[in-house]
Amino acid sequence: MAEVKDYKIKRNLSALIDFSRVINSSIDLEFILNNVLLTCLGKFLATRGLIAVKEKGKLVLKVSKGLNAEDETAFPYLLATPECIEDPKLDSFMHVTNMKIVEKISSSQDCIGLVCLGEKLNKSGYTEDDQEFLRTILNISATAIQNSIIISELREVNRLLDTRVQRLDSLFELSKEFGMLAESSRFVKLLIFSVIGQFLVQKYAVVLFKDEPEILESKFSRSDLQKCLSEYELINTLESIRNEEISEQYKLLKEIGVHLVVPMQLQGNTRGLILLGNRAGDKEYLDSDVEFIYSVGNLAIISLENKRLFEEALEKQKLEEELLIARDIQQNLLPQNIPFHENFEIAALNVSSKQVGGDYYDVIPLDDDNFVVAIADVSGKGVPASLMMANIQAFLQVICKHDLKIDEATALINNLVTANTTEGRFITFFWGVVNTKQKTIKYVNAGHNPPLLLRNNAVNKLDKGGIILGVMETVNPYIFEEVDLYKDDVLILFTDGVSEAMNLSGEEFGEDKLEETANALKVNSAKEILDGIKHEVQRFAQGNIQSDDITMLVLKVS
Amino acid sequence: MAEFNTSILDKGNVSVINLKGYLDAHTAPTLENNFTQLIGNNRFNIVVNFNELAYISSAGLGVFMAYIEKIRENSGDIKLSNMSEKVYNIFDLLGFPLLYEIYKTEDEAVNKFTR
C-alpha cells in the first residue's frame, strides 16, 4: 500500500515539474491559462471549468471549457480582492453553472485570478487532497500568469503609445500639408481622409458655417442632413456631441446614423462641424479620439482662415497698386507742360490729398491767338470723384475742338455732366478763353470759387456765370463776361482746398488771407507767386494733413 | 518632395494596383484617381499590392475608407497584400484587419476573388 502511495506521489511530482516547465516557458497568457485549465480538468476528470484573470482591477473570464455562451456571459462582476471567492454573486454563478470548486490564483501581493471547476466525471466530491493539489498547481502557475499579465499590459501600453505617436505624426503632417494647399476642396478631402483612415469610418460629413450652413462633403443623405441643420442650432455647439447625447437629444441625427459631432473652432467660435458615423466593429469614440478629431478640425479651420486672410491682404494690395496706377493716369490728365504764350506766364500745381482726387485744371490752346484756362472741383473724393474728373477733362478737350461760344459750350457741358452723374454729385467749374493779341479773357463761372484778378491794389472776383455743373439740365443760359487784361495783372484760379486749408486749431486759411498773400507776391513771376502761396498755405497748416486736394493756376500778364 | 506612383495591372476580373514610394496627404490624390478610374470602368475586384510602399500616412489610409463602401455595394472588394511589417503595423494599429482582408502574397489575394 505504501509503495503504491509513493509511486503516486512520484508520478504527481514529475507531472508537476513537467507542467511547471511548460507554462514557465511561455509568455503567452492564453497558452498558459489553457494549459492550467486542461491540467486541472485532466487531473480531476472534470468536464467543465474556467479561469478568470485580473484586468484593470476586476476579474475577467479568459478561458473556459464545457461552458456555453450563456454561462460565460453570466460570469459576475468581481473585484480582484483576496475575498473574491467568498462573494455571494460567485456562489450563485457557480450554482447555476454547476461548478463545484473554486480557488484563487495569488501572486506574492494579491489575487490575480480564480479557477472554477465543475463536477468530476465519477460524480464524487472534491476531497481536501484535491483542494490541496489544486492550490499547488495554481501556486506553480501564479508567477507565469503574473508575468504574462504584465507583458500583455506592457503590450497594451506600447500599442497606446504607438497610437499616440501615429496621431502626432498625422497632425504634424496635416499642419504641413494644410499650409501648402491652394484649393479649399483639397482641405476638406485631406481632413476627411485623415479622420476616416484613423477611425475606420465610412459615413461622414463636413459642414462650414458661413451666412448659411454649407455642406462641403457628406456621405449622409444631404437633404436629411440639411433637415438636422435647420432643426438644431448646431452653430452654438461649443463641445463635441457624443453618441449618448445624440441618442437622447438629437433624434434626427441618430436616425441618419451620426455617432459623433465635433465642432471646428476659431477663437472660441464654432465655424464648422465634423459629423461621423459609427466606427468599424462598433467601437466607441474615446476621449482621446475626440480630442484628435478636434485638433484636426481646428487645424483645418485655422489654415482655411489664414488662407482667406492672405488672399484678402493680396486683394487689398492689388487694389492699392491699381489706385497708384489710377493716380498716375489722373496726373497724366493734367497738362504735363504748360504751353508758352506770348505776353502770358502761367504756372499751376495740383496736390492730391488721397491717391486719386476730384480736382482738375487745364490749359488748352485753341488757335494762334486764343487759349483756354480751366479749373474744376468735383464733389466728394476718391475713385468716384476721379472718374468724374476724367469725364469733364474729356468733355472739355472735345468741346475745345469745336468753335462754340463759351456760354453755349458751358450749357452743353452741364447737360453732358448732368446726364452722366448720379444724384448728389456735382462739379464747380470755371473756364475762360484768353486772347493773347487783344489781352482779354472771356469767362463763365459755374459755381466755382471766384478766381482773383489782381490789378494795382484792387482785387476783382470773376464770378459771372450760372449754376454748378451736374445738378440739372441747363434751363437758364449761362452768362459770360469779357474782361480786359493789362500788363502785370495777376489772375489766380484756385480750388477750396487752398482757401479752406486748415491748421491744427481748426482755423481756415480763408480767402482774405489768400488775397493778402497774393497781393504781397504779385510783383514776382507767376511761378514765384504760385510757390509763395503754396508755401504760405503749408506754413499756415502747420503740417496738418489736408482732407482736400490743393489746386491752383496763376496767370500773369507780362 | 517624396515620390509616389502607382501602376494598374489586370489579372482576369481582378485589377491589381501596385503602390510605390510614399503615400501621404500630398500623394493621396494619385491613388484616389486610380480608384475612381477603376470604379468608372466597373472594375470592382481590386487588390492593392504594398510591396514597394515605403510609408503610409493616415490621409493615405483614408483613401481606402473613402471608396470601400461604393466597391462593396457593387459586390466587389479591396484586398490588400505584400505589406512590409512597418506598414502592416500601422494598418493593424488602426484596426484595418477588422474591415479588410490582408494577404501575404498578391496571388493569394487575387485567387480569393476567382474562387
A102-124 residue pLDDT tens: 999 988 778 899 999 998 888 88
Whether chain A has a CB inside 8 Å of the CB on B31: the answer is no
> Is the ipTM value over 0.90, yes or no?
no
pLDDT value, residue B2: 62
What's the one-letter identity of residue A533?
Answer: I
Angle at A459 between CA A362 and CA A506, to 5 degrees: 75
Chain-chain contact of B63 with A193 (C-beta, under 8 angstroms): yes
3-state secondary structure A497-512: HHHCCECCCCCECCHH
- How many Å apart are CA A76 and CA A84, to the nearest integer? 11
pLDDT for the residue A57:
86
Whole-number pLDDT of residue B1: 52
Cα A342 to Cα A66: distance, rounded to the nearest angstrom: 127
Query: pLDDT by residue (tens digit) across B56-76?
Result: 888 888 899 889 989 999 999
Rounded distance between C-alpha atoms, residue A103 and residue A105, angstroms: 7
Q: Which residue has the cell 506754413?
A: A539
Chain A positions in Cβ-Cβ contact with residue B68 (cut-off 8 Å):
202
CA nearest to A180 within chain B? B26
Per-residue model confidence (pLDDT) at position B33: 92
Q: Which of A188, A192, A193, A286 to mutate to test the interface with B (most CBs of B within 10 A)?
A: A193
Residue percentage of chain A with pLDDT more than 70: 98
Per-residue buried b or exposed e for A398-428, using 16+ beta carbons within 10 Å of the residue's own CB: ebbeeeeebbebbbebbebbeeebeeebbbb
Strands (E), A121-212: 204-209
Average pLDDT of chain A is: 89
Question: At residue A263, does pLDDT exceed 90?
Answer: yes
User: Which among B26, B29, B58 has the least Cβ separation from residue A197?
Assistant: B58
Q: How would CATH label the architecture of B4-114? A: 2-Layer Sandwich (3.30)
Residues in chain A with CB shorter than 8 Å from the CB of B62 are 192-198
Least confident of A289-303, A377-391, A443-457: A377-391
**CA distances (Å), origin B105, targets A140, B48, B80, B82, B111:** 43, 11, 9, 5, 10
A200:B25 CB<8 A: no
Query: Cα–Cα–Cα angle for A549, A554, A366, nearest 5°?
Result: 100
Does residue B43 register a pLDDT over 90? yes
Q: What is the DSSP letter of A345?
A: E
**Residues in contact with A480: Cβ distance below 8 Å, sequence separation at least 6, in sequence order:** A405, A406, A407, A410, A442, A443, A444, A464, A465
Q: Over the stretch A484-542, which tens digit does the pLDDT of each residue have?
A: 999 999 999 999 888 888 888 888 899 899 999 999 998 999 999 999 999 999 889 88
For residues A541 and A502, the answer to whether their CB atoms sit within 8 Å is: yes
Cβ under 8 Å to A: B residues 33-72:
57-66, 68-69
User: What is the least distance, in Å, from the CA of A272 to any CA of chain B?
Assistant: 20
Q: Return the closest-CA partner of residue A49 out of A131, A96, A115.
A: A115
Segment B77-86, tens digit of pLDDT: 999 999 999 8
From first CA to last CA, the distance across chain B in angstroms is: 41
What does the alpha-carbon distance between residue A289 and residue A199 come to, in Å, rounded to a whole number?
8
Domains for chain A: give ranges and CATH numbers.
Answer: 2-153 (3.30.450.40), 181-309 (3.30.450.40), 334-557 (3.60.40.10)
